[in-house]
Amino acid sequence: AARLNPLDLYDVRSLLSDEERMVQDTVGRFVDEKVLPIIGDCFDQGRFPKELIPEIANLGLLGATIPEKYGCAGMNGVSYGLICQELERGDSGLRSFASVQSSLCMYPIYAYGSEEQKMHYLPKMAAGEVIGCFGLTEPHGGSDPANMKTNAKKDGGDWVINGAKMWITNGNIAQIAIVWAQTEDGIQGFIVPTDTKGFTAQEVHKKMSLRASVTSALFFDNVRVPEANRLPNVKGLKGPLGCLTQARYGITWGPIGAAQACLKEVLDYTQERVLFGRPLASNQAIQLKMADMARRITSAQLLSLQLGRLKDAGKMEPTQVSLAKWNNCRMAIDIARECRDILGGAGITVEHSAIRHALNLESVITYEGTETVHQLVVGRELTGINAF
Ligand code: TGC
Ligand code: FAD
DSSP bridge partners of 133: 177
Tell me the catalytic residues: 368
Whole-number pLDDT of residue 1: 65
Q: How far is the CA of 347 from the centre of ligand 1 (A)?
A: 37
Among protein residues, the one whose CA lies closest to atom 27 of ligand 1: 237
CA 308 to chain centre: 15
Which residues have a Cβ under 8 Å from the Cβ of 170 and sit 6 or more positions away?
97, 100, 101, 131, 132, 133, 214, 216
Residue 206 CA to residue 28 CA, distance in Å, equals 30
147 lines ligand 2 (CB under 6 A): no
> At 100, which amino acid appears?
V
**Candidate from 92, 102, 134, 137 with most ligand 2 atoms within 8 A of CB, to mutate:** 137
How do 186-193 and 176-183 pair as beta strands?
Answer: antiparallel
Provide the whole-model pTM: 0.98
Atom of ligand 1 nearest to the CA of 213: 55
Q: Ligand 2 in contact with 168 (CB < 6 A)?
A: yes
> Distance between CA 387 and CA 291 in Å, rounded?
36
Does 178 sit in the ligand 1 pocket, CB within 6 Å?
no
> Helix or strand or coil: residue 233?
coil
**Could you report the per-residue pLDDT of 301-347, keeping only the tens digit for each?**
999 999 999 999 999 999 999 999 999 999 999 999 999 999 999 99
The answer to whether 311 touches 294, Cβ cutoff 8 Å, is no
State residue 2's pLDDT score. 72
- Please count the residues of the chain: 388
pLDDT in tens, 88-139: 999 999 999 999 999 999 999 999 999 999 999 999 999 999 999 999 999 9
Assembly ipTM = 0.98
Pocket flag, ligand 2, residue 303 (CB < 6 Å) = no
What CA–CA distance (Å, rounded) separates 82 from 73? Answer: 14
Ligand lying nearest the CA atom of residue 132: 2
User: How much distance in Å is there from the Cα of 164 to the middle of ligand 2?
Assistant: 15
Q: With beta carbons less than 8 A apart as the criterion, state whether 378 and 323 touch.
A: yes
Residue 372 CB–ligand 2 contact under 6 Å: yes
